[in-house]
Amino acid sequence: MLQIRHLKKTYQPGTQASVIALNDINLAFDQGEFVCILGKSGSGKSTFLNLLAGLDYPTEGEILIKSSNISQLKDREIANFRKDSIGFIFQDFQLLEHLTAVENVELGLMMFPLSQREKRKRALQALQEVGLEMRASSRAATLSGGEKQRVAIARALVKDPDIVIADEPSGALDSKTSELIFSLLQKIAQAGKLVIVVTHDNDALRYATHLVELRDGVVITDQMLPYQQLEALPAEPKPQRPALPKQRSSDPLTPFRLSAKQILEKKWRYVLVSIGMVIGIAGLASALNLNNGIAAYMAYARQRIVDDSKLTFIKQGQMNFNDSLHIEHDPRVRLVQDEYELNGKILWHQQEIDLKLDPLLQQKYWGLYTTPRVIAGSLPKDGTDEIALSATIAQRLLGGSDFQRLIGTKIELKSLALDPFNAYPARWNEQTFTVTGVTEKTLIGEDHGYLPYATDKDLVRRSQFLGKNADIPTNQLSVYLANSQDVPGIVKTFRGEYTVVTPEDVLKDLTNLFQNFTLIILSASLLILFIAVLMIGIILYISVLERLQEIGLLISLGATRNDIKKLFLAEALLLGLFASILGIVLSLIAQLVVNPLITAYMNYALLQPSVVTLGSTIAIAMIVSFAASLIPASKAARLSAIELLRRH
Ligand SMILES: Nc1ncnc2c1ncn2[C@@H]1O[C@H](COP(=O)(O)OP(=O)(O)OP(=O)(O)O)[C@@H](O)[C@H]1O
């Protein structure tokens, strides 16, 4: 079944340090044999086992297993050969201590396309064969040395391999336990497997059927032994197991399962490292949510607050009647008028509340252009001493939002004209007004009062000591178009004479302000994320170093380099998913806290999460984690199984 012809292994050939570890080995083993390989330290035993298991390539010669030469197999084929044909048993057991006994045995089936249930069933059966079914759910760390080695034997057996290779299986055990292990291996041989054991332990000879002795890389003894113990034992029936599938498992969840166990095992470390990432992700999600909110807010502002057919014309010097006539002469213009904002103070129970006073359009234009949206009462009518107050003020006056209570209330209002030329002395007027309505919060949340157009102008004149119908000096006029589509045309026509401020300009300033803010959050979160990536990279690197044993074990079980890579990619993706879920939860909490603060100031909740923003955040987190894992994962995949499995 196994034939070895002219096998030679030279380490570092052609150099001064070149070592001939094996030289011209010729051997033949058959099924049912219990081969015992003896030899002093350095005689080449480990080298021999590594070549048999396809973990290393010979320098010369061939190893024929069922007449196929395994030394000529490619990486993936050799991994398949290990998966299907070889069961390893190590001196130091190589169990994953944080897994239970049965989970360790299931690892033997990791590369097979079986359901989890089927794996469990076979693993339990294998544990039963080594007499350990009652410890199936004990963690490996809690088992005794002999029990651990029996679990390791079950893990080798569960794959139903043709060849079982044991490297010093009794090296770490007392003599009584060693005997138990050897007799188990003997049973395995009896059941038809080829068992090859490297040992220093002469006791093994009592169970062996074939002795091979190595010295300085050559075979000095190759001898069949009489069946001493075997004859005394009742013949073991071959255990009945359904045949294992030959394909490789392509279950994408396996690496995730293994990594999830690793993460749970070291959960506090992962939680601490994730905090940076969680904060970065929460920041990123908030920046995206804010951007979303700003876009929605701008659409809202365009539609409801800023009148898209109103322009402001500004001149260096004073505007006069001629300017007004000249602009109004353009057929696209419907109305030109001077409008004045005043500083105001409401006197209320010994308090003074500051506000800006703005003129409303005359009533006949209300339907044509945007007027402040009323949420209680109505707007003041032309020619009255009435006022509408924005909700922010109404709230302060009332100490609540039962705005109806304010309608009809009289307030003392002081007002002062703002003179753009600083040429006129101005004084505070004081007058009683009746509140007729409460309006929605304004674009940037200032406190506003709205007066009828003529009333507003009267206040300006009085404040500036002007006569009843006198012109008020101003450098700007408000221009209302019949059609908002004419805005660009009008801008073009009047550009040389006036500075024309369009609704877009008003919105642009606001957008810029918001976008700078978004940019700051975004940059800060990206910086945090970048640091988080470094930390994830480092933790995965540590994880690779901690999982060396596991990597070696998986390779011995038939894992390919790609499978190893996947293990660490899975770990990174799990970490990314965990951090992005927490990050998103944090961003949603931030939204619950921040939005009411914003809405107190302006009439809009600016943090607006959407499926797209949250989805993008998760995607970014996953990409970032994936990127962070690339270097550690490829380091893991390049590790040499021989180094990893070397006896300590
Ligand atoms: N990677 C390597 N590079 C160079 N020389 C090596 C390498 N691995 C093993 N050797 C040498 O090859 C020879 C055989 O080593 P091997 O480990 O196979 O012996 P061994 O019988 O298993 O010894 P021990 O029982 O101490 O493990 C030794 O001289 C060893 O120093």
Instruction: Give a three-class secondary structure readout of 467-536.
Output: CCCCCCCCCEEEEEECCHHHHHHHHHHHCCCCEEECHHHHHHHHHHHHHHHHHHHHHHHHHHHHHHHHHH
- The Cα–Cα gap between 326 and 329 comes to 5
- Residue that the structure tokens 């994953």 belong to: 96
Q: How far is CA 320 from CA 323, 338, 490, in A?
A: 5, 10, 19
Tokens 């068992």 appear where? 195
> Which atom of ligand 1 lies nearest, measured to the CA of 168?
25
Q: From the DSSP assignment, how many helices (H) and strands (E) are in the chain?
A: 18, 21
Contact 249, 257 (CB under 8 A): no
Q: How far from chain centre, in Å, is Cα 563? A: 22
Q: Which residues lie across from 4 on neighbouring strands? A: 27, 63
Half-sphere exposure of 53 (CA within 13 A, CB side): 30
Does the C-beta of 44 come closer than 6 Å to ligand 1?
Answer: yes
Distance CA 81, CA 355 (A): 84
* pTM for this model (two decimals): 0.68
Q: Are 558 and 82 in contact (CB under 8 A)?
A: yes
Residue-level pLDDT at 642: 80
Nearest CA among 590, 47, 623, 616 for reference residue 286:
590
Instruction: Report residue 314's pLDDT band, with 50, 70 and 90 as the boundaries.
Output: very high
List pLDDT tens digits, range 551-602.
Answer: 888 888 888 888 888 888 888 888 888 888 999 999 999 889 988 888 777 7
49 Cβ below 6 A of ligand 1: no
pLDDT at 26: 94
Q: How far apart are the first and last CA of the chain?
A: 32
Is residue 11 lining ligand 1, measured as CB closer than 6 Å?
yes
| Residues linked to residue 136 through DSSP beta bridges, in sequence order | none
C-beta 9 within 6 A of ligand 1: no
Query: Looking at residues 603-628, what average pLDDT do you find?
Result: 86
Describe the crossing of helices 561-601 and 267-304 by its angle, rounded to 10 degrees: 40
| Protein residue whose Cα sits closest to atom 14 of ligand 1 | 44
State whether the beta carbon of 39 lies less than 6 angstroms from ligand 1: yes
42 CB near ligand 1 (under 6 Å)? yes
Categorize the per-residue pLDDT at 243 as very low, low, confident or very high, splitting at 50, 70 and 90: confident
- Please, what's the largest Cα pairwise distance for the chain? 133
Share of the chain above pLDDT 90, in %: 35
- The pLDDT value recorded for residue 229 is 47
| CATH number 3.40.30.10 is the correct assignment for the domain at 2-251 | no
Q: Which two tokens stand for residue 540?
A: 């995965």
Sign of the alpha-carbon dihedral angle for 448, 452, 455, 461: positive
The CA-based dihedral angle spanning residues 348, 350, 355, 361, taken in that order and rounded to the nearest 10 degrees:
30
Atom of ligand 1 nearest to the CA of 39: 21
Locus of tokens 């923003």: 613
Cβ atoms of 39 and 214 within 8 Å: the answer is: yes
Ligand 1 atom having least distance to the Cα of 43: 21
Task: Compute φ and ψ for 413, nearest 5 degrees.
Answer: -125, 125
Residue 358 pLDDT class (50, 70, 90 cuts): very high
Rounded alpha-carbon distances, angstroms, from residue 14 to 17, 18, 23, 51, 59: 8, 6, 16, 20, 12
Give which of 502, 480, 482, 481 is closest to 491, Cα–Cα.
502
Whether ligand 1 lies within 6 angstroms of the CB of 47 is answered as yes
**What are the sequence ranges of the domains in the chain?**
2-251, 265-302+509-645, 307-502
Instruction: List the one residue out of 151, 171, 172 whose CA is nearest residue 97.
Output: 151
Distances (CA, A) of 236 to 87, 90, 169, 180, 186: 20, 24, 22, 16, 10
Is the pLDDT at 301 greater than 80, yes or no?
no
For ligand 1, the distance from its centroid to the CA atom of residue 39, given in whole angstroms, is 12
Helix (H) or strand (E) holding 181: helix 175-190
Residue 645 CB–ligand 1 contact under 6 Å: no
Q: What is the mean pLDDT of residues 19-42?
A: 92
Say whether pLDDT at 494 is over 70: yes
Q: Which of 111, 53, 124, 87 is nearest to 245 (CA)?
A: 111
Binding site membership of 465 for ligand 1 (Cβ less than 6 Å): no
The distance from CA 102 to its chain's CA centroid, rounded to whole angstroms, is 32
502-539 pLDDT tens trace: 888 878 877 787 788 788 888 888 888 788 788 888 88
Exposure of 246 by Cβ count < 10 A (0-12 exposed, 13-18 middle, 19+ buried)? Answer: exposed
CA distance 155 to 511: 65
Cβ–ligand 1 distance for 43 under 6 Å, the answer yes
Read off the pLDDT of each residue in 169-178 and give the average, rounded to a whole number: 83
15 CB near ligand 1 (under 6 Å): no
Confidence bin at 232 (pLDDT 50/70/90): very low
Can you read off the two tokens belonging to residue 182? 């050897």
Per the DSSP assignment, residues forming a β-bridge with 214 are: 39, 219
Rounded to the nearest whole angstrom, what is the distance from the C-alpha of residue 386 to the centroid of ligand 1? 102
- Higher-confidence residue of 252 and 146: namely 146
How far apart CA 538 and CA 594 sit, in angstroms, is 34
- Residue 446 sits at φ, ψ, to 5 deg, of -75, 160
CA 476 to ligand 1 centroid distance, Å: 94
Judge contact between 130 and 151, C-beta under 8 A.
yes
Distances (CA, A) of 300 to 304, 550, 602, 603: 6, 58, 12, 10
Cβ atoms of 48 and 37 within 8 Å: the answer is yes
Q: What is the pLDDT of residue 219?
A: 93
Please name which of 368, 390, 400 lies closest in space to residue 602, comparing C-alpha atoms.
Answer: 390
**Mean pLDDT confidence for 255-277:** 83
Better pLDDT: 333 or 248: 333
Find where tokens 């009047």 sit. Answer: 494
Torsion-angle region of residue 120: left (phi > 0), alpha (psi -120 to 50) or beta?
alpha
The runs of H, that is alpha helices, within 349-425 are 391-398
Taking residues 604-621, report their average pLDDT: 86
Mean pLDDT within 466-470: 87
Amino acid at 284: L
